[in-house]
A and B are shown apart, each in its own frame.
Chain A
């Protein structure tokens, strides 16, 4: 293979990588690409003369650029998210984390429910003065509690907001089915302090919990330091077997 062909193939591999890393800050990205380039070039030089299949094999053993880039992005995002208090950062991070496994999916569900409820609460607080008879905490005959906006109808009743029916039925934005019938408003003017404090509490609690969850279950170090208990346990098992 001619040297220029080898370089062209390497550059094509790297440009795939670059395209997948577009959202990463430029200096960080170019540093990473430069390092990978050096790695490939040195591998190639070690062979002296390379054929196309051999070069492809070298590129394969480095890894699929899209896959590597997505691992890199998720790991960088999680690192940033642990330090962040922005709901937007935490939500978008858990969203891409959710594509990689169960822990990510759980984190996303927690974040969506928590921030969804916080959004519903703050919207109620802000909209109550403008729609006093429509915004509230509504109790329907099926024991569904919905914090949000009621369409005013007793048939085809719909209440948009955060709906909860004990024990486990949640809808973050929207309405649970079969809420037909007289709905009752539960809070009156108490809605102001309840929604204000509720939104604040939900925001803080969801943020802290999501951060804790990422720290605990994010792609972490191999041997964590607080595994002393397990060693103790294994030690005593070993002793008792002896």
Chain B
């Protein structure tokens, strides 16, 4: 691949990651209330979203302003208080809608990309 092709591939990947961040963050909060660093660990562990850590707080702040999450400071005896985030009812509904969309969307895309992988294996086998 040439340099520009590489760059445009990188940009495409970055866009996909960026587009999925909100879904990933909300999904991370589905079962538990979490604080910033925990959310980051969940994101790093379950999906490689390549996030600048400070950006997470900007997104959480926006999600809170939109009423999708709520937050509270909790001093759990760790020496310093932590700001925990929890999904609101609106946030849960929103997450369900997003999840349904995502599942339909990725299933359809998999049908298309499945054919591509199939073709590629076929050509490799012919060589």
> Which A residues are within 8 Å of any B CB, using their own CB?
31-32, 34-36, 38-39, 41-43, 61-63, 65, 68, 71-72, 75-76, 79, 221-223, 225, 227-228, 231, 234-235, 237-238, 241-242
Contacts and interface: CB of A to CB of B under 8 A. Distances in A.
Contact of B108 (A227, A228, A231): A231
A71 B18 CA distance: 14
A241 B65 contact: no
A221 B63 CA distance: 9
Interface string B95-120: 00110011011001101100100000
Interface of B: 18-23, 35-37, 52-55, 57-58, 61-62, 65-66, 80-83, 97-98, 101-102, 104-105, 108-109, 111-112, 115
Contacts of A72: 58, 61
B11 to A, nearest CB: 14
Contacts of B101: 223, 225, 227-228, 231
Contacts of A237: 112
A41 B80 contact: yes
Contacts, number: 86
Interface of A, secondary structure class, is: helix
A229 B5 CA distance: 30
Contacts of A223: 19-20, 22-23, 98, 101-102
Contacts of B82: 38
Given A38-B81, A237-B112, A61 B57 contact: no
A202 B57 CA distance: 38
Nearest 4 pairs of A and B residues by beta carbon: A63-B54, A222-B22, A238-B111, A68-B54
B1 to A, nearest CB: 26
10 contacts: A35-B57, A38-B36, A41-B80, A63-B53, A68-B52, A222-B23, A223-B23, A231-B108, A234-B109, A242-B111
